[in-house]
A and B are shown apart, each in its own frame.
Chain A
Amino acid sequence: MADGNDPEAEVVNSAEPAAEGAGDPGPDGTTGVSRRQLFQRAGVLALGAAVAGTGVELLRERPASAAVSHQAAGAEAVAGGAAGPTGSTGAAEHQWAMVIDLRYCNGCKACTMSCQQAHSLHKDQTWIHVFTMQSASGSTYSMPRPCMMCEDPPCVPVCPVKANFRTSEGLTLVDQSRCIGTRICMNACPYQARYFNWKAPKPAPRQPFPQEPGWPVPQVEGTVGKCIYCAAMLPAGKLPECVTGCPMGVIYLGDLVTDVAVNGFGRAVKLSQFIQDNNAVKFKESYGTHPRVFYIPGSGEDLENDQEKP
Chain B
Amino acid sequence: MSDQPSVTTATGGSLDLVAPDEVDAAELREAGREAAMRPVLETGKWWWIAVATLAAVVVVGLVAWATQVRDGLGSAGYNNQAFWAVYEADLVAFIGVSYGGAVVSAILRITNATWRAPLTRIAEGTALVTLPIGMLFIIPHLGSPWRIWELVWPPYWGLSSPILWDFFAVSTYLLATVVFFYLPLVSDLKIALGRIGSTRTGWHANACRWLYRKLGDHWDGSPPQRRALHGAIGLVAIMVIPLAVSVHSVLSFAFASSSRAGYIETIFPVYFVVAALYTGIALVIVSVAAFRRGYHLQRFITEKHIVRLGFLMIGMGAFYLYLTFTEYLIDGYSGQRDEAAWVRQIIIGRYWVPFWFYFVAAGVVPLAIMAFRRTRNAKGVVFASVLVLLAMWVKRIVIVVPPATEPLVKSPLRGAGVLASANWGTYHFTWIPISITLAATAAIPLLLLVLFKFLPILPVSEMEELEGIEEPSAIDAGEGEGGPR
Contacts and interface: CB of A to CB of B under 8 A. Distances in A.
A134 interface: yes
Contact of B142 (A124, A129, A157, A181): A181
A184 B404 contact: no
A184 B417 contact: no
Contacts of B145: 180-181, 222
B416 A196 contact: no
A299 B81 CA distance: 30
B73 A222 contact: yes
A56 to B, nearest CB: 17
A198 B411 contact: no
Give the residue among B407, B412, B415 with the most A Cβ atoms within 10 A: B412
B157 to A, nearest CB: 7
Given A197-B72, A198-B78, A191 B409 contact: yes
Contacts of B258: 154, 187-188
Contacts of B141: 182
Give the residue among B73, B160, B259 with the most A Cβ atoms within 10 A: B259
Main secondary structure of the interface of B (DSSP, over half): loop
Given A178-B156, A222-B73, A309-B415, A184 B161 contact: yes
B67 interface: no
Given A131-B411, A197-B143, A180 B151 contact: yes
Contacts of A160: 150-151, 157-158, 161, 163-164, 167
Q: Which bucket holds chain B's interface residue count?
A: 35 or more
Interface string A164-195: 00000000000000111111101111111001
A196 B78 contact: yes
Give the residue among A129, A181, A190, A220 with the most B Cβ atoms within 10 A: A181
B404 to A, nearest CB: 7
A302 interface: no
Contact of B72 (A140, A222, A307): A222
B257 interface: yes
Contacts of B412: 133-134, 307-309
A153 B163 CA distance: 17
Nearest to A157: B160
Given A158-B161, A192-B408, A200-B72, A181 B143 contact: yes
B83 A183 contact: yes
Interface in A23-72: none
B71 interface: yes
Contacts of A309: 412, 415-417
A299 to B, nearest CB: 17
A162 interface: yes
Nearest to B162: A158
Interface string B73-104: 11100111101100000000000000000000
A263 interface: no
B376 interface: no
B143 A183 contact: yes
A180 B158 CA distance: 12
25 contacts: A124-B80, A134-B413, A134-B417, A154-B258, A159-B161, A160-B167, A161-B150, A178-B147, A180-B142, A180-B144, A181-B145, A183-B143, A184-B257, A187-B404, A190-B259, A192-B408, A196-B73, A198-B72, A198-B79, A199-B74, A220-B144, A222-B144, A308-B337, A308-B416, A309-B415
Interface of A: 124-125, 129, 131-134, 140, 143, 145, 154, 157-162, 178-184, 186-192, 195-200, 220-224, 283, 287, 307-310
